[in-house]
A and B are shown apart, each in its own frame.
Chain A
Amino acid sequence: EKTPGQHDEL
Chain B
Amino acid sequence: MNIFRFLGDLSHLVSIWLLLHKMTTSKSCTGISFKTQALYALVFATRYLDLLYGSWHSMYNVAMKIFFIGSSLYILYLIKVPFKPTRDPAIDTFKLEYLVGGALIMSLIANYEYSFPEILWSFSIWLEAVAILPQLFIIQRTGEAENITTHYVAALGAYRGLYIPNWLYRYFAEGFFDPIAVIAGIIQTVIYLDFFYIYFTKVLKGQKFELP
Contact = CB atoms under 8 A, between A and B. Distances in A.
Interface of A: 2-5, 7-10
B194 interface: no
A3 B181 CA distance: 13
A8 B112 CA distance: 15
- DSSP class of B's interface residues: helix, strand, loop or mixed? helix
Interface residues of B, number: 24
Tell me the dominant secondary structure on chain A's binding face.
loop
B118 interface: yes
A10 B113 contact: no
Contacts, number: 34
Interface string B101-142: 000000000001101011001000000000000000000000
Interface of B: 5, 9, 12, 47, 50, 55, 57-58, 61, 64-65, 68, 112-113, 115, 117-118, 121, 163, 166, 177-179, 181
Contacts of A2: 112, 177-179
A10 B9 contact: yes
Contact of A4 (B47, B61, B65, B115): B115
Nearest to B118: A4
Contact of A7 (B9, B55, B58): B55
A9 B55 CA distance: 11
